[in-house]
Amino acid sequence: MNSTKAFFLFLILGLFFQSSIIKAQVIEITLESTDRTRFNSDEIRVPEGSIVRLTLIHTGKKSIRRMGHNIVLVEPETDIKDLVKKANRSSYEDHKPKGDSVIAFTKLIGGGESVTIEFKVPKKGEYPFLCTYNKHYRRMKGLFIVE
Ligand SMILES: [Cu+2]
């Protein structure tokens, strides 16, 4: 193999490894919630094509029954009231919102707990996220922006 061929071989290998690193880009995001029915942020920005490792921390003291929180990420056109109604029909231990409009969700947690999920970021756009417990979505909501 002459030096020109070797150069191109290394160039191709380099591009291959670089692209596989980009594919595996994991973004760590932590969102805090409290006994006051709030998230500490109402906007999350992530690059398209990334994988998000999202952690929800409940820094409060109240029980899951009194102050349960989760994070549910949904499609832009989702009927939020309908989604919340369905989620609240299930038990608080198993608070899974059903439907195709749900992109990702954590389980419900109480004070002092935390939960981590990992998911592939959807295509560019603005996606609402919320807590589906009781009527928390009125205050616990925000936008997950893929850019
Ligand atoms: Cu909540």
Task: Please count the structural domains in the chain.
Answer: 1
Determine, yes or no, domain membership for 8: no
User: Is residue 19 situated within a structural domain?
Assistant: no
pLDDT at position 86 is 87
Query: Is residue 133 within 8 Å of residue 35, measured between CB atoms?
Result: no
Q: What is the pLDDT of residue 19?
A: 56
Distance 68 CA to ligand 1 centre (A): 5
Q: Containing domain of residue 45, as a range?
A: 25-146
Residue 86 alpha carbon to ligand 1 centre in Å: 15
The verdict on residue 101 lying in a domain is yes
121-136 burial by CB neighbour count: b if 16+ within 10 A, else e? bbeeeebbbbbbbeeb
- Rounded distance from Cα 130 to ligand 1 centre (Å): 8
> Is residue 20 domain-resident?
no
Instruction: Enumerate residue ranges in the chain where pLDDT < 70.
Output: 1-4, 6-24, 91-96
* Ligand 1 centroid – CA 23 distance (Å): 33
Q: What is the pLDDT of residue 89?
A: 85
CB 111 within 8 A of CB 69: no
Residue 18 lies in a domain: no
* pLDDT given for residue 22 in this prediction: 54
Which CATH number is 69's domain given?
2.60.40.420
pLDDT for 33 equals 98
Q: What is the pLDDT of residue 99?
A: 73
Tell me whether residue 48 is in a domain.
yes
The answer to the question of residue 12 being in a domain is no
The pLDDT mean for the chain works out to 88
The pLDDT value recorded for residue 97 is 72
Is residue 122 a part of any domain in this protein? yes
